[in-house]
Amino acid sequence: MIPNFPPFRLVVLQDNEHFFPPYQGAPLLRQDTVQEYPQIVPVLDQLSGKITDSEMRKMNYEVDVEGMSPATVAKNFLTQSGLLP
């Protein structure tokens, strides 16, 4: 049986000292991949500046805590962002 613990009463703290850098995702590709599939570059460029820190935290939470597949989370984000129909 699991013991009955009281609520933790956790709060999200602000990073006033900027200890953690902002999320700045960037696509990394091998040059041979770009040479073989050059059409991928403009597609990935559409993501530039689209993912905020809070959106990334939300997506990480959906995968890590809620157990959603990364593909589903990515598709949901791309659809909501208007990058997929």
DSSP state of 81: T
What's the pLDDT at 1? 47
Q: Give pLDDT, residue 74.
A: 95
Residue 59 sits at φ, ψ, to 5 deg, of -65, -40
Mean pLDDT of the chain, nearest integer:
87
Distance CA 55, CA 31 (A): 29
Predicted confidence band at 52 (pLDDT cuts at 50, 70, 90)? confident
Residue 80 pLDDT grade (very low, low, confident, very high; cuts 50, 70, 90):
very high
pLDDT at 64 > cutoff 80: yes
pTM for the structure as a whole:
0.65
Domain boundaries, the chain: 49-85
Burial pattern 33-48, b for ≥16 Cβ within 10 A else e, equals eeeeeeeeeeeeeeee
- The helix/strand/coil state of 34 is helix
pLDDT band (50, 70, 90) for residue 3: low
